[in-house]
Amino acid sequence: MAFSGFLYALLVCAQFAESQKQVSSGAGSTQTFMFPPSGVTATVPDPNFPDGTKVGFAGATPTGDEAAAMATAPSFAPNHNHFPLVQPIAADADNAHDFDVLQHLGNLSPWRSVPSKNYGLPGASPVVPSGCEVVQVHLVHRHGARYPADGGPATFAGRVHEIANSPSGFNATGRLKFLRNWTYKLGAELLTPFGRSQLYDLGVGFRIRYGELLKDFKDLPVFRTTSQARMLDSALNFAAGFFGLQDYAKSYHQLIEVESQGFNSTLAPYFTCPNANNEIAQIGYTRNPVKWQNAYLSRAQRRLANQLPGFNLTIADCFNMQQLCAYETVALGYSQFCGLFDEEEWEGYAYASALQIWYGAGPGNPATAAMGIGYVQELVSRLTKTRITEFNTSVNKSIVTNEILFPLDQPIYVDATHDTVMSTIYVAMNFTSFIRSGPLPADYIPDNVSYKTNEVNPFAVNLVGQVLSCPASGTPTHIRWILNDGVLPLTGISGCKHNKNGMCEIDTFINGMKQRIAEVDYQFGCFGNYTFPEPDGIVDGQLPMNLRH
């Protein structure tokens, strides 16, 4: 019996050893690819491949009139496009349509049209109200889908690779079988092909909706972005969609503001705001989100750990797997990580994203109103056609005092920035519809939570200010703001009353923005030496007066 038991033990060990061999030694390794091939580039112009202007024979070329769909159409075409991404299916869902995982990826979700009722204005439409006309638009948008900007997904890949190549290795069963040969194919921070298409499509859509305003330009437009590669690529893809591939380079001026330490830019205000780079900012990514991750991922951790003997799967690993679902989907078109988590766990991930942004760059952080107020100053400058004369925020004096770089007579303004900066702008402008449900708790998801990052900060999120003339006369009388096609109520702005279409009288709005500029203490918010308090009660991006010293 003992001898037979010994043979049985040897057989079990052999079978286990064989199971380890099923995991490739390359599992978790990083794969990269660069195109064009090294040392190969196109000569421009190339005499062998003349462009269309040299070839000629273009056929008929007369242009049609400009479109103004937001003013002329009875309704608008909502954006629900995620082509060519394969829509993920949650672990407990029958199909991709019953539960949309793509809309539970938080700030890593693709943007889509949001009903105005979600922001508190049921029945409002982004289409210009009857009897009014658009005389000016202000667009500020986020870059498109990108590769990871932090190390979470890469850290998980490193663990997979390290353990796969250790003497004991690990096994992968069930839904995790794919880890046996899975490799890490993501770059860092650059736009993905899908991200490029998002901005190109946004440019096309903006031309169709507001192209009529091009007739009012007396000079070429100046659009702004920052120097980061994904920011510039987003701006150029938007311009290509808006002006056309053949014409965009000669149809406008692209102002590129330096995004780096020591340079003022309202599109990257954190580089001149110390409290955006210390423990005040990091609270959004440590205290509450980690507590929530431990709560909503505990069941997933136990379930998935049973399918990964030898790995010691952690809560952080599970969160990184969810991030990999998001990043692989927008980069590679599909991710097997998405199907590892059920609907409740995806709802938990979406809320984790809300916690991060709320306390890191949103209403619950005491430095965010200060970071966003510089854009508000520039907005008032544009609306009043008055130069900024005081420079005590993130505003870049050398830019805004230059009439070439910062014109004040454009019918269309376009600024490209980041999701965290968009968040600070909402706070600085006092868009209070996002704080209806109050501060976000870290141990449960409140009913009817009003701050959802897939609605306020997804990839390619776009905020449009429509300056209107009502009744139509060419003279600005009202303004309203539209976020991802959803109309925002402006009742948080001093003097702006409830309006079913989200409109506020232009002079009242400007005075309300001036009041916000006066009440936001940039120096204290960004440079004050204070301790981050318990978050309850902070909903306006500023430390309460009774806690300032």
194, two tokens: 């899908």
Query: Is the separation of the CB atoms in 112 and 79 below 8 Å?
Result: yes
Give the other-Cβ count within 10 Å of 177's Cβ: 15
The DSSP string of 134-198 is EEEEEEEEE---BS-SSSHHHHHHHHHHHHHTSSS-----GGGGGGGT--B---SSSBPHHHHHH
Q: b or e along 271-284 (b: 16 or more beta carbons within 10 Å of the residue's beta carbon)?
A: bbbebbeeebbebb
| Domain presence at residue 154 | yes
| Domain presence at residue 421 | yes
Distance CA 181, CA 201 (A): 35
| Domain presence at residue 336 | yes
| Domain presence at residue 59 | no
Would you state the pLDDT for residue 19?
Answer: 42
Which residues make beta-bridge pairs with 256? 225
Which candidate, 124, 111, 120, 132, places its Cα nearest to that of 205? Answer: 111
Element holding 320 (H helix, E strand): helix 315-332
| Domain presence at residue 460 | yes
Phi, psi of 426 (to 5 degrees): -60, -40
CATH number, domain containing residue 346: 3.40.50.1240
| Domain presence at residue 292 | yes
Structural domain of residue 329, as residue ranges? 97-543
Query: Is the separation of the CB atoms in 409 and 350 below 8 Å?
Result: no
| Domain presence at residue 398 | yes
In the chain, the amino acid numbered 367 is A
Distance CA 332, CA 138 (A): 33
Give the other-Cβ count within 10 Å of 390's Cβ: 9
Would you state the pLDDT for residue 44?
Answer: 80
Per run of 10 residues, the mean pLDDT along the chain (length 549 residues) is: 40 39 80 84 84 87 89 91 95 90 98 97 96 98 95 95 95 97 96 98 98 97 98 98 94 98 96 91 79 96 97 97 98 98 98 95 95 98 98 97 98 98 98 92 92 97 98 96 98 97 98 98 94 74 80
The pTM for the full model equals: 0.93
Would you state the pLDDT for residue 210?
Answer: 98
Give the other-Cβ count within 10 Å of 476's Cβ: 17
Would you state the pLDDT for residue 54?
Answer: 86
Counting the structural domains of the chain, the total is 1
| Domain presence at residue 13 | no
Would you state the pLDDT for residue 15?
Answer: 40
Would you state the pLDDT for residue 534?
Answer: 65
